[in-house]
Amino acid sequence: MKLFGSRQPKAKISVATAPAGEPLIKMRDIVKVFKTDAGDFTALKGISIDFYESEFISVIGKSGSGKSTLVNMITGIDRPTSGTVAIGDAQIDQLSESEMARWRGLNLGIVFQFYQLLPMLSLIENVILPMQLAEQYTPAERKDRAMQLLSLVGLEDYAHKMPANVSGGQQQSAAIARAIANDPPIIVADEPTGNLDSRSAAMVFSLFDELVQQGKTIIMVTHDRHLAAKARRTVRIHDGLVVDDGASTDVVDLSDAKPSAGAAEAATLADAQQEEVTEALKHAT
Amino acid sequence: MRPRYRKVIADLWDNKARTALVVASITIGVFAVGMISTAYLVLPEAMNRGFVAASPVNIKVATMPFGDDLIKSVSRIPGVGAAEGRQTVEVRITKADGSLENIELIATKDTGMHEININNLIEGKQVPDDNELLMWRDGMQTLGFSLGDIVTLELEDGTIRKMPIVGVVDDLTHDNATMRQPRGYITLDTVEWLQFEPIYNNMWVTVDRDTDDGNYIASVSAEVQSKIENSGRPVFFVREFTSAVHPMASIAQAVLGILSILGLLIVFLSGSLIANTLNSLITQHTRQIGVMKLIGARTQQITAIYLIEILAFSAMALAISIPLGAIAGYELSKVLSTEINVILPDRGAVPLMPLVVALQVFVGLAVPLGVGIFPIRRGAGITVEDAVTGGGKAANKESKSWFDRTMEKIKAFQGPMVIALRNTFRAKGRLALTLFTLALGGGIFIAVFNVRIALHGKVDEITGYFAADVNLDFDRNYRTEEIEQFAKQIPGVDYIEGWSITLGDIHVEGQQATKEVIMFAPPADSRLIEPVLIAGRWVRPGDQRAIALNEAYLSVNPDAKPGDQIQISVNGKEKTWTIVGIYQFTGLPEVFGYTTYETLSSEINSKFHASSYRIATQDHSLAFQQDLSAQIDAHFQKNGFLVKEAQAGGEFRETMTEQMDTIIWLLLVMALLTAVVGSIGLAGTLSMNILERTREIGVLRAIGGYNSIVVRLVMIEGLIIGLISFLLAAAVSFPISTVLSNVITIAIFKSPADFTLSPNGFLIWSLLVAILTTVASLVPARNAAQLTIREVLSYE
Ligand SMILES: Nc1ncnc2c1ncn2[C@@H]1O[C@H](COP(=O)(O)OP(=O)(O)OP(=O)(O)O)[C@@H](O)[C@H]1O
Ligand SMILES: [Mg+2]
């Protein structure tokens, strides 16, 4: 089945890196205007921001403030109306949809709120898929690697189950394994824990934390202040503008929030699970 | 406008592709119903009106020359409606292409205004003057003439006569077999001018009532015969015809019957398409329905909204298909009518028929509502909770059948393409309906080609009984040896057989009347006939007065079987013959008997002589046969033989085949209609699949799926469906071919077909399916590739 199997990508896609001290992701004067029936709506009003290698950034803000819109500019899910996004030496806002997809395959892992595993593929097949799409590794290596990633997220016994037959937390764990299948330098997650119970949320958070230790850059949108506070850097968006940017403890003010029981518990659990995950990841990568 | 109607309109408008799909599905079915029922009403009606109006002959008696006196006394016999004398002469006519052909010329009192088998004027004059010719329409085509042409006739003694064609007429009483034979009408004076005696030798009679009652006609016929015999003239032969139904009526019925069955199938298939689309519509609206319920809509109200939506689909479909169906129905009748010798009224005179429209409206409403009510009730009955959570957890946990497990194991598809394979089998109900539609459409399509071959085979079989590559007939007997010698001088002639042909009368036991038998006698070792025997065997060298009769004899004597002894009068002598076999012919009522040349030639005292010859040529193509016929004709004439006619055997075949092909074309039209239904189904299924998987395609993009992967995934899914449907179509084409060929050959030839297989149908269908699936998946594939992730995730 060579016909459908491998086709060489047209241009060699490089993995994004940045020289020491230089930002990995450079966003300049990003404006996003949505055209709606009620008229134009400016969701991002000129944001310039840099993200560096191995940063763990949480993006917070009220619903409708523009968080998803902002990270969509990085993933290429959406394009800025004006302004530029450079990641490594790639000019994200210039790529076509298809080029973008190829670029993303190697450089970016996306984790969605609703997991978005492909329902007709088993968990392991879901994890193998990005490697196949990007033509990374040999078929045998792909399988081994997928298995390692699944055991990293605690799913080695569920590898051959279909997504519909496992829990939400397990699906999200598999989705994270899928996001890091091609070992991308950047992971973007839009409310990855929004649909999870506190235990699973903590698990996800620990995984992220460890990935950062491994040198990955993680940008996570969250509503959960406790989780946000655990990230190194927090960016607060308000009304399409960055209103706060700095060390998490400065930006996330926990005192004015009535923490949900789940979130607090998750934060504690996250610490406990940190150790295990660290060990596992060392083996996987 | 009330909000609920606004929702209906918004639904129809927002998803134009789906609206088009449903409307097209309904349209096809309703169109087929309109087309076929129009033909059903128009054609037989026109057929019988034309036939009865022409006052078809009931009794034909051939006798010695007679005049007006005898006609007058016959017409006074009680039960006789009308009586006319006819003289039929045969001369050679030069065709437009220069070759020669025999033409029958009929003369009667007041030619052109006669009262039996009344002519229907096509163009020119209705009544010829002396030395003018009125031509039969179909003969015009065969000979290549048009109105006003001067034709050249060659008389028996070589005299040349020229006559203008002053009118073209149609005789609506004839069946196909006699139709294409060239015939014309002339006056009695013209008969004399052509050096024949200007008297009648045929008496044509109609009965005054009960024209469909064979017994009544026979009783009148007996009176007519005795009147003629009393006048001192022997009766040579008599033929009786009922005339309440057109001779082609049964064929027309059969063809219309088959078309109706196919029409029903199309309605059925279109119903399954509608079901598919409505199912998907409701599935997509589940959440919407939940919201409507949340704000207080009752199940009943929701049901009503969707029923109104279906009515809107139906209304659009009816608006298109009622006029189109009427037009197509008329055109279909037109095509059929020329084949079965019927004059249709002008289209202007065929308005929309209330019955047809009523039927269309009924089908157009009942089918969509009937198939739509199930998904609608399912959708409208859903609980708010199920609707909002997407059918609940239970629905998400797909239980795995052995089939799914097998799918998961298939390794032929590697990498991302395994997605295409599994996607194909996800919506199983929809897949099944699509496959069903495509397979049936394809099966019919393929079958039509097989039927064509079967019909052609039948034609070969039948023409084989009387036609060789060239049939050569002389006006008198010649020594076969002599003819053989001259024939062999012509390059291209393979071999030649002299056939004895004569008329005999079979005395059927227990019946007073005799049955005429046309006796053919090829040499005992003839290589030209490959008979299809129903019982017994064919005649053999050394047989003594043995005869093989066609199946028509069974209607004279149903108990007849090989070994029976029968009395046949040949050449005025009644002798005992043995039936050795019964063979399959066309279903014509005439009895044809085959015996050996050796037997018959001695019975008619013409040993070593024959006037009728069959020639096999080295090349069997029609062009070669025609070319050689002309050479043979010229060669024998030059050498002083009285050639009556040299005709290419392929011409018989051609004429019959052409008629068969008309039926084939009709079937093909129906097959194409089913194929269209199938393609709509395929395109619909693929686009519905894509629509439901938009989110997944977005996810694929998010994890590195580039355009060509997305396109290939969709295309492969289409091709898998195409491939499976092709295999199914090939499988069902076998039973469909058998049934279809049998129904048609039995209607036309009164005998079943031999099953024949043509690769053409399979090849053409596989090509069509390949093109179709490519096109049908290309569009959704491109749409899928153009989806951006943001659009996709906004579905969440
Ligand atoms: N495709 C779109 N068309 C029009 N307006 C949009 C579109 N996408 C987002 N918006 C608007 O832009 C604003 C920012 O939306 P965005 O999804 O970025 O918010 P958010 O911060 O992610 O909110 P939430 O926490 O609810 O996810 C919102 O007011 C939203 O209504
Ligand atoms: Mg958001």
Judgement on whether residues B63 and B44 belong to the same structural domain of the protein? no
Sign of the C-alpha dihedral computed for residues A140, A141, A144 and A147 taken in this order: negative
Confidence class of residue A226 from pLDDT cuts 50, 70 and 90?
confident
Is B418 an 8 Å CB contact of chain A?
yes
* Cβ neighbours of B398 in A, within 8 Å: 162, 164
* Alpha-carbon gap, residue B545 to B603, rounded angstroms: 9
Q: Which residues contact A10 (CB under 8 A, 6 or more apart)?
A: none
Judgement on whether residues B83 and B105 belong to the same structural domain of the protein? yes
* Alpha-carbon gap, residue B530 to A63, rounded angstroms: 89
What is the distance in A from the centroid of ligand 2 to the CA of A116? 16
* Alpha-carbon gap, residue B590 to B583, rounded angstroms: 13
pLDDT of A266 above 70 = no
- Give the tens place of pLDDT for each residue, B206-261: 999 888 887 888 889 889 989 998 998 888 778 888 777 777 777 777 778 888 88
**How far, in Å, are A13, A88, B114, B471, B661 from residue A22 at the CA level?**
21, 10, 110, 100, 80
Confidence class of residue B338 from pLDDT cuts 50, 70 and 90?
confident
Tell me what the pLDDT averaged over chain A comes to: 79
Nearest to residue A50, comparing CAs of A1, A4, A102, A86? A86
* Alpha-carbon gap, residue B717 to B722, rounded angstroms: 9
* Alpha-carbon gap, residue A216 to A184, rounded angstroms: 8
- Give the tens place of pLDDT for each residue, B63-116: 888 988 899 999 999 999 999 999 888 888 888 888 788 888 988 887 778 888
H helices of A17-167, in order, are 67-75, 97-107, 123-134, 139-152
Judgement on whether residues B407 and B488 belong to the same structural domain of the protein? no
Q: Which two tokens stand for residue A273?
A: 């699970």
Nearest to residue B762, comparing CAs of B741, B737, B740, B742? B737
* Predicted local distance difference test score (pLDDT) of residue B357: 92
More confident residue, A265 or B731: B731
CB contact under 8 A, B696 and A118: yes
* Alpha-carbon gap, residue B534 to B585, rounded angstroms: 10
Atom of ligand 1 nearest to the CA of A191: 27
Q: Which residue of A has its CA nearest to B413?
A: A1
For the segment B460-465, the average pLDDT, to the nearest whole number, is 81
The answer to whether the CB of A62 is under 6 A from ligand 1 is no
Judgement on whether residues B381 and B277 belong to the same structural domain of the protein? yes
**How far, in Å, are A112, B239, B331, B791 from residue A109 at the CA level?**
10, 93, 63, 19
* Alpha-carbon gap, residue B47 to B43, rounded angstroms: 6
Domain count, chain B: 4
Domain count, chain A: 1
Contact status, residue B6 vs residue B240, Cβ threshold 8 Å: no
* Predicted local distance difference test score (pLDDT) of residue B180: 58
Judgement on whether residues B720 and B637 belong to the same structural domain of the protein? no
Contact status, residue B108 vs residue B67, Cβ threshold 8 Å: no
More confident residue, B718 or B415: B718
Contact status, residue B744 vs residue B262, Cβ threshold 8 Å: no
* Predicted local distance difference test score (pLDDT) of residue B365: 93
Q: Which residue of A has its CA nearest to B418?
A: A121
* Alpha-carbon gap, residue B465 to B488, rounded angstroms: 23
Task: Output the CA torsion B26→B28→B30→B33 (10° steps).
Answer: -150
Place of tokens 């997220």: A153
Nearest to residue B469, comparing CAs of B646, B600, B247? B646
- CB-CB neighbours of B759 under 10 Å: 11
* Alpha-carbon gap, residue A121 to B416, rounded angstroms: 10
* Predicted local distance difference test score (pLDDT) of residue B783: 72
Contact status, residue B584 vs residue B745, Cβ threshold 8 Å: no
Q: What is the residue type of B169?
A: V
pLDDT of B788 above 70 = no
Range with lowest mean pLDDT among A159-163, B143-147, B204-208, B294-298:
B294-298
Q: Which residues contact A93 (CB under 8 A, 6 or more apart)?
A: A73, A79, A80, A83, A84, A85
**How far, in Å, are A193, B141, B147, B153, B503 from residue B95 at the CA level?**
92, 10, 14, 10, 30
Find the ligand nearest to B793 CA. 1
Element (H, E) at A32: strand A25-36
Q: Is A168 contained in some domain?
A: yes
Nearest to residue A34, comparing CAs of A1, A71, A81, A2? A81
Q: Which two tokens stand for residue B728?
A: 């199914």
Pocket test for ligand 1, best of A41, A235, A243 (most atoms within 8 A of CB): A41
Place of tokens 């491109």: B782
How many helices (H) and strands (E) chain A has is answered by 9, 10
pLDDT of B441 above 80 = yes
pLDDT of B603 above 90 = no
Q: Which two tokens stand for residue A97?
A: 């949809």
pLDDT of B406 above 70 = no
* Predicted local distance difference test score (pLDDT) of residue B245: 74
Q: Which residues contact B506 (CB under 8 A, 6 or more apart)?
A: B514, B515, B516, B517, B553, B556, B566, B567, B568, B591
- Give the tens place of pLDDT for each residue, A135-149: 888 888 888 898 988
* Alpha-carbon gap, residue B162 to A105, rounded angstroms: 90
* Cβ neighbours of B706 in A, within 8 Å: 9, 98-99, 101-102, 105, 133
- Give the tens place of pLDDT for each residue, B740-782: 888 888 877 777 777 778 888 899 989 988 888 888 778 777 7
For the segment A231-259, the average pLDDT, to the nearest whole number, is 72
The answer to whether the CB of A246 is under 6 A from ligand 1 is no
Place of tokens 């099953």: B755
Residue that finishes a domain, picked among B374, B393, B412: B393
pLDDT of B580 above 90 = yes
* Cβ neighbours of B699 in A, within 8 Å: 112, 116-118
Q: For B457-474, give the DSSP string.
A: HHHHHHHHHH--SEEEEE
Range with lowest mean pLDDT among B117-126, B175-184, B693-702, B713-722:
B175-184
Residue that finishes a domain, picked among B603, B625, B648: B648
- Give the tens place of pLDDT for each residue, A44-57: 998 999 998 888 89
B16-53 helix and B354-380 helix, angle to the nearest 10 degrees: 150
* Alpha-carbon gap, residue B197 to B66, rounded angstroms: 11
Judgement on whether residues B103 and B125 belong to the same structural domain of the protein? yes
What is the distance in A from the centroid of ligand 1 to the CA of A41? 10
What is the span of the domain harbouring residue B499? 469-648
Residue that finishes a domain, picked among B604, B633, B648: B648
What is the distance in A from the centroid of ligand 2 to the CA of A68? 4
**How far, in Å, are A122, A147, A160, B779 from residue A155 at the CA level?**
12, 9, 10, 39
Adjacent-strand bridge partners of B593: B519, B549
- CB-CB neighbours of A220 under 10 Å: 26
* CATH number where A164 lies: 3.40.50.300
Q: Is A24 contained in some domain?
A: no
Contact status, residue B614 vs residue B471, Cβ threshold 8 Å: yes
CB contact under 8 A, A112 and B793: yes
Helix (H, G, I), strand (E, B) or coil at B170: strand
* Predicted local distance difference test score (pLDDT) of residue B582: 92
Q: What is the pTM of this model?
A: 0.72
Distance from CA of B424 to the nearest CA of A (A): 10
Judgement on whether residues B388 and B402 belong to the same structural domain of the protein? no
Sign of the C-alpha dihedral computed for residues B768, B769, B771 and B775 taken in this order: positive
Q: Which two tokens stand for residue B362?
A: 């009924």
* Cβ neighbours of A102 in B, within 8 Å: 704, 706
What is the span of the domain harbouring residue A130? 54-65+96-283
Tell me what the pLDDT averaged over chain B comes to: 83
Q: Which two tokens stand for residue A24?
A: 């990995």
* Alpha-carbon gap, residue A223 to A68, rounded angstroms: 12
* Alpha-carbon gap, residue B308 to B238, rounded angstroms: 67
Q: Is A72 contained in some domain?
A: no
* Alpha-carbon gap, residue B206 to B221, rounded angstroms: 10
Judgement on whether residues B374 and B496 belong to the same structural domain of the protein? no
